Amino acid sequence: MDKIILSPSKYVQGYNTIERLEVYTSSLGKNSLIIADDFITKIIKEPVSNSYQNSSSNILFEKFNGECSKTEINRLMEIIQQNKIDSIVGIGGGKTLDTAKAVSYYAKIPVVIVPTIASTDAPCSALSVIYTDEGVFSEYLFLSKNPDLVIMDTKIIANAPVRLLAAGMGDALATYFEARACTAANKKTMAGGTATKASAALAELCYNTLLSDGYLAKLSVENKVVTKSLENIIEANTYLSGVGFESGGLAAAHAIHNGLTVVEELHHLYHGEKVTFGVLVQLVLENAPKNEIEDVLSFCKKINLPVCFKDMGIENINKEKIYEAAKLACAEGETIYNMPFEVTVDDVYSAILTANSLGEDFSS
């Protein structure tokens, strides 16, 4: 099988980078559509407009309607045709960014991704999640390429809620362990081939960065300031984890996250929070070294990431529901089959309950 690594064409990260948007986007298009929701537009409209003031490039702001749905994508496609738009810039959270990527794919124009939070590793990937107008999951849209440009403004991210940064660290925590498992099994990654040494190195660097800088980064955001640690964590959550998961491979942790979506009481949690517990379950499943499990538990506690159902707001667990979650985690095509050994529903059920007790013990 071929080895493949994917990444965005360019990644830029800095303080007040939004004020230099024109510098980075002008080579991609001269007539850009900028989409953002009302809340984000209030923050970015002035600096973005200023950056284009003395430029030969034009920009058109358009409100993002809140759902990455076919209706919204088609609406934006019409605006693109009517205004001869030649590039699209998405500024905001996951759904805004996924919509910008999807529109770029259908309109065959370059896309610039400007996340205003560092809560998942999705921004760098060649993937959009499409929902119905009512917000129900519809499909994964596999794009023909990764974004042309990803821009992280550290000042904007420092002012976002700390729980979102922590959730991003939870998502990034899974990257090394899932890539390690997928490589051991010699399975295909999301990039369509087996992992490279480069993606393995990025995944490992991602984990080490979380351990060394995670806590200080959390304190930085609590104070709404940028430190070297926060810079390192923004890079780990977005780029290292982004390339690390896509080209390093997913395994049990994300499959367990997907399984846990059947438990309604967990719907209020962020993706990365549920993935965190998925990591713990994967470590139990593979009987990882105990010092490694302790490192992960200590890290999660410092960052306020959940390590048991109590942390996730469930006092009494319903074992039948947990068995259903285990079943869904083992659905056909799930990435749990990228583990380097056979995994059954009973194995996953046992690992979930054991990980939960382990997390509870560690918390008490």
- In the complex, which residues of this chain contact Zn ion (CB under 5 A)? 171
The one catalytic residue among 153, 171, 213, 311: 171
- Kindly state the smallest distance separating residue 172's Cβ from Zn ion, in Å: 9
Answer for the pair 93, 115: CB distance below 8 angstroms, yes or no.
Answer: yes
Alpha-carbon separation of residue 146 from 32, 178, 267, 355 (angstroms) = 18, 21, 29, 35
Adjacent-strand bridge partners of 127: 142
49 known ligand binder: no
Nearer to Zn ion, 171 or 286 (CB): 171
33 known ligand binder: no
- Kindly state the smallest distance separating residue 329's Cβ from Zn ion, in Å: 14
Whether 268 is catalytic: no
- Kindly state the smallest distance separating residue 292's Cβ from Zn ion, in Å: 20
Answer for the pair 162, 23: CB distance below 8 angstroms, yes or no.
Answer: no
CB atoms < 10 A from the CB of 108, how many?
7
Whether 267 is catalytic: no
Nearer to Zn ion, 17 or 241 (CB): 241
The span from the CA of 339 to the CA of 17, in Å, is: 40
Q: Please give the order of strands across the beta sheet that includes 11-14.
A: 11-14, 149-153, 111-115, 87-92, 31-36, 58-63
Residue 132: its H or E element? none
131 known ligand binder: yes
Nearer to Zn ion, 171 or 347 (CB): 171
268 known ligand binder: no
The one catalytic residue among 153, 257, 311, 347: 257
Nearer to Zn ion, 57 or 261 (CB): 261
The span from the CA of 281 to the CA of 297, in Å, is: 12
- Kindly state the smallest distance separating residue 271's Cβ from Zn ion, in Å: 6
96 known ligand binder: yes
- State which residue has the least CB distance to Zn ion: 171
Active site residues: 171, 254, 257, 271
